[in-house]
Structure 1
Amino acid sequence: MLSRRDFLKLVVKGAVLGNFSQLITPPLAKAVAAGEVHKLPVVMIETGTCTGDSISLDNIWTPTFSDILTNILDWRYDWIMNQVQGQEAYGILQETYEKMPHDYILIVQGSMIQRDNGHYNHVGYENGKFITGIELVRRIGLKAKYVVAIGSCATYGGPVSGYPNPTQSTGVQNILPERRVINVSGCPAHPDWIMGTLLHLALYGEPELEKFGRPKLFYGETVHNRCPRRRFYDQGIFATAIGQKECLFRVGCKGPVTYSDCPIRRWNDRFNWPIGCNTPCIGCTEPGYPDLMSPFTSHFPDIPFPGGTKVNTDSIGLGVLGLTSVAITGHVVTSLYKGRIQKNLLKTSAKTNHRPALKKAQAFHKYWLKKTNKI
């Protein structure tokens, strides 16, 4: 059977050459024929979402990947793709839960709506009552072999959990603390990230994860490290407006603090990606998106580091990226909890007398203080 090392090589090679499915399929077909692959049952539950990740995943369902879904994964329940409806479809979900405990993969798409015990999001009807998203995800998730959250909403709450978060939305990990959730983030997640993670689970088990629970094979490096415009950054050549061909860092690009392989994998059958369209990366794979990455076209303010050191982001470049990029990434991560970025936004907005930005920063800062029990 295809070794894990060879599989990882093909995942990267597929991103570079743009033929991921064609590279993966032949060795998998041989493994299936030899009886070396155990078909993992898959159920997908959609909660508070726009269905964007299902639409994204559809883009990889070529005839080649149809064979993978038939022979490698037993795709049992997905209310978008089901051929049956109503109780007949829901019965398949119940059968999987009852007869295949600790053998199936649970995929969750969409944020966990917690307000009023989750009754703003119903995903089933059972014994005369509506079943909420958080109730079903907990029930199915506790008996799943693996739990996979796909998209920004399911992983970290996403846009639905943005300030002031009236529905008290959050990510899957927060309502399933007993389980280790595999996070495939993005708004939406790239089809290769979703299918590649599922194939790794089917063939080799859990992939190596980074600190936010994302597979390192897709989220191991920043967008910035692989960006084709990196040379402009290192030389200090920056675009002054969206649409220009130089480095977009000063017009809001969040590539230095965003982890994903978008620059080499790209989107829409490897046709293009945001920076290829001359627009900044908006950091959609990161925790805290979209609030901590907003406004998308605003340049990061000066960043104070522990010990009193202050780095002006306008001075980054000309060979100093390696150290400052790591420092900025660490700073943004800790700021999610400590509220430093919000405070900096307050100061910057006050200095520039930008009233809309000031009001937004003040409200968001108060929200995060409350969320982290500081007030």
Structure 2
Amino acid sequence: MDNDIQGVRPPFSRRSFLRTSLMAAALGGVTRAFSPCVPQALAETLTAVRPPVFWLQGMGCTGCSVSILNSLHPRIADVLLHVIRMDFHPTLMADEGEGAVEFMLRSAEENSGGFVLVQEGAVSEEEDGRFCIIGEAGHEEFPLSVMLEKLAPHAAVVLAVGTCAAYGGVTAAHGSVTGAVGVQEFFRRKGIGTPVVNIPGCPPHPDWMVGSILILLDAVERRGLAGGVQEVAASLDAWGRPRAFYGNTTHENCPYLYLFDEGTMAKSLIDKAGCRYGIGCKGPGAWCDSPLRRWNGRVNWCVENALCIGCVQPDFPDGQSPFYQKNLW
């Protein structure tokens, strides 16, 4: 699956490639659906729709960046080199410091209205934003909050990657002194109307991030940048998530669902003869396709090793805590 077929033109048109990818995404199999010729197809069919992407890292653990690096089909190198134009990413780019920030600001100005902004991690305005300084240019420090306020109004769309960026997440949990919030809440306070696509998870599955980009590119291909963004924004669920990945609960697709229906509950984490709802699994209220998509090259997923902690939900972690507590049954 990882070897390219050399010298063979992929049987994909630009449009058919995107549509096939999106059908696979809707069926829960972005990674398993890609064939060996996809890297070549990506290079040949996706060169025209490559808006610049600026990826900002805020208050978080960088786990979302680590997760997308584990994308298998397409491989992350193909995503970065052929699917999107990643012009700024603090962890991945070779450049750094003032020069990198100045380049991003200059490129954003040149592509006003035509670039994609990805936000990883939550946002804070407390202490003039000094809980999260992300760079400097021209002897001016840039807190994340200031950079977002500067760039977001000129972006075509903002992808809030990870639960911290989408809803505040762990960084906004009880006891935090930073005043951390998600991107949409920050935009609400600032009156910024740029569309936001939330891709929650702690961290999100690589498919959720890459697949959301494919959904966006397909819409842009058919309707242009502005029309494509509007189409994507109109297709999100009530919490701003793509329905292709967040359209059903974990519980609905769980392989242990029949045990739940039978009323057979696990007594401990090592007990695989029962449903884990009885020891605290949050699957019935967590909306994502983890059971179908699985993780780490489809080797396992949350409930195989422990249980669902509801990390894709807007009230994570406080509203999903405590994670391991016996439910009434």
| Selected match of 1:276 from 295, 304, 318 | 304
Q: Does 1:142 align with 2:153?
A: yes
Length, aligned pairs only: 298
Q: Does 1:79 align with 2:90?
A: yes
Cα distance change, pair 23–117 in 1 and its aligned pair in 2 (3 A): farther
| Selected match of 1:102 from 89, 106, 113 | 113
Residue of structure 2 in register with 1:131 after alignment: 142
So what's the TM-score if we normalise by structure 2?
0.84
Alpha-carbon contact 1:138-1:175 (below 8 Å) kept: no
Pairing of 1:1-375 with structure 2 (within 5 A)? 1-2=15-16, 5-13=19-27, 15=29, 18-20=32-34, 25=39, 27-32=41-46, 37-60=48-71, 64-177=75-188, 178-204=193-219, 205-206=228-229, 207=232, 208-245=235-272, 246-277=274-305, 279-300=306-327, 314=329
- The C-alpha deviation readout for 1:237-266, integer Å capped at 9, x for no partner, is 110112211100010000000000100111
Aligned-CA RMSD value = 2.1
Letter in 2 for 1:298: Q
Distance in 1 (CA, whole Å) between partners of 2:30 and 2:85 is 29
Alpha-carbon contact 2:155-2:194 (below 8 Å) kept: no
Letter in 2 for 1:31: T
Cα distance change, pair 57–40 in 1 and its aligned pair in 2 (3 A): same
Distance in 2 (CA, whole Å) between partners of 1:144 and 1:253 is 38
Cα displacement (A) at 1:8: 2.4
Alpha-carbon contact 2:53-2:115 (below 8 Å) kept: yes
Distance in 2 (CA, whole Å) between partners of 1:147 and 1:60 is 21
Cα displacement (A) at 1:128: 2.1
Cα distance change, pair 113–144 in 1 and its aligned pair in 2 (3 A): same
Cα distance change, pair 22–153 in 1 and its aligned pair in 2 (3 A): farther
Letter in 1 for 2:196: V
- When structure 1 is superposed on structure 2, of 2-11 and 92-101 the one drifting more is 2-11
Cα distance change, pair 17–56 in 1 and its aligned pair in 2 (3 A): closer
- The C-alpha deviation readout for 1:320-371, integer Å capped at 9, x for no partner, is xxxxxxxxxxxxxxxxxxxxxxxxxxxxxxxxxxxxxxxxxxxxxxxxxxxx
Cα distance change, pair 56–16 in 1 and its aligned pair in 2 (3 A): closer
Alpha-carbon contact 2:21-2:30 (below 8 Å) kept: no
Distance in 1 (CA, whole Å) between partners of 2:84 and 2:317 is 33
- When structure 1 is superposed on structure 2, of 220-229 and 195-204 the one drifting more is 195-204
Distance in 2 (CA, whole Å) between partners of 1:17 and 1:135 is 36
- When structure 1 is superposed on structure 2, of 268-277 and 100-109 the one drifting more is 268-277
Cα displacement (A) at 1:164: 2.5
2:154 counterpart SS class: coil
- Which structure carries more relative contact order (alpha carbon 8 Å, separation 6+)? 2
For structure 2, the 5+ residue unaligned runs are 1-14, 220-227
Distance in 2 (CA, whole Å) between partners of 1:127 and 1:91 is 8
2:16 counterpart SS class: coil
Alpha-carbon contact 2:72-2:297 (below 8 Å) kept: no
Letter in 2 for 1:181: V
Cα displacement (A) at 1:229: 0.3
- The C-alpha deviation readout for 1:197-223, integer Å capped at 9, x for no partner, is 112212213432100000000000000
Cα distance change, pair 190–21 in 1 and its aligned pair in 2 (3 A): farther
Alpha-carbon contact 1:44-1:106 (below 8 Å) kept: yes
Distance in 1 (CA, whole Å) between partners of 2:103 and 2:304 is 43
Alpha-carbon contact 2:28-2:289 (below 8 Å) kept: no
Cα distance change, pair 15–102 in 1 and its aligned pair in 2 (3 A): same
Alpha-carbon contact 1:43-1:75 (below 8 Å) kept: yes
Distance in 2 (CA, whole Å) between partners of 1:16 and 1:144 is 27
For structure 1, the 5+ residue unaligned runs are 301-312, 315-375
Cα displacement (A) at 1:23: 8.0
Cα distance change, pair 11–243 in 1 and its aligned pair in 2 (3 A): same
Cα distance change, pair 38–156 in 1 and its aligned pair in 2 (3 A): same
Cα displacement (A) at 1:140: 1.0
Distance in 1 (CA, whole Å) between partners of 2:312 and 2:82 is 30
Letter in 2 for 1:106: L
Cα displacement (A) at 1:113: 1.6
So what's the TM-score if we normalise by structure 1?
0.75
Cα displacement (A) at 1:31: 2.2
Alpha-carbon contact 1:2-1:27 (below 8 Å) kept: no
Residue of structure 1 in register with 2:9 after alignment: none
Cα displacement (A) at 1:92: 2.0
